[in-house]
Amino acid sequence: MLMIGIDVGTTNSKVGVMDAKGKVLAIASRPTISYMHEEGFSYYDPEQMWDDIAGMIQEVTSKVDAAQIASIGITSMAESGLILNEETGKPQSIFVPWFDTCSQDQARHIAAESDAMEQFTKSGLNLSFKLGLAKILWIQSRNPQALEQGKWLTVSGYIAYRLSGVMACDYTLAARTYAFDLNTKSWDRAFIAHFGVNPDLFPELVPSGAPLGKVTSEVRTLGLPAHTVVAIAGHDHVSAALAVGAISSGDVYNSMGTAETLVGIISERKLGAEEYHSGLSYGVHAVPGQYFWMGGNSSSGGSVEWIRKVIGVNTLDYMTMKDEVTSCLPGPTGILYYPYLSGCGAPTPDSGAKAAFIGLSKSHGRPQILKALLEGTAYQQEYIRRSAEQVTGQHIHQVRVIGGGTRLEPWMQIKAAVSGVELILPEVDEAAVLGAAMIAAIGAKQYANAEEAVAAIQQEASLRRVSYAEEEHQAYQQFYTDKFVPIQVALRNWEL
Residues 227-285 have pLDDT tens digits of: 999 999 999 999 999 999 999 999 999 988 888 999 999 999 999 999 999 999 999 99
Measured distance CA(264)–CA(424) in Å, rounded = 15
What's residue 457's pLDDT? 87
What's residue 491's pLDDT? 57
Which residues, in sequence order, are CB contacts of 105 under 8 Å at separation 6+?
138, 141
CATH 3.30.420.40 placement within the chain: 2-238, 246-427+462-496
Measured distance CA(37)–CA(157) in Å, rounded = 24
CATH of 2-238, one of 2.170.190.11, 3.30.420.40, 3.90.1150.10, 3.30.1010.10: 3.30.420.40
What's residue 459's pLDDT? 59
Helix (H) or strand (E) holding 54: helix 46-61
34, 217, 333, 366, 415 from 56: Cα distances, Å = 18, 18, 46, 42, 36
Whether residue 422 contacts residue 299, with contact meaning beta carbons closer than 8 Å, is answered with no
What's residue 495's pLDDT? 47
Q: What is the largest CA-CA distance in the chain?
A: 68
Helix (H) or strand (E) holding 355: none
Helix (H) or strand (E) holding 138: helix 132-142
Measured distance CA(174)–CA(163) in Å, rounded = 20
Q: Which residues of the chain have pLDDT under 50?
A: 495-496
Measured distance CA(72)–CA(4) in Å, rounded = 5
Measured distance CA(130)–CA(154) in Å, rounded = 13
Per-residue model confidence as pLDDT tens digits over 473-493: 999 999 999 999 887 766 555
Pairing of strands 356-358, 180-181: unpaired
What's residue 380's pLDDT? 94
Strands (E), 325-468: 336-338, 356-358, 398-403, 422-426, 463-466
DSSP 215: P
CATH of 246-427+462-496, one of 3.50.50.60, 3.30.420.40, 3.40.640.10, 3.40.50.300: 3.30.420.40
Read off the pTM: 0.91
Pairing of strands 229-235, 69-76: parallel
What's residue 242's pLDDT? 94
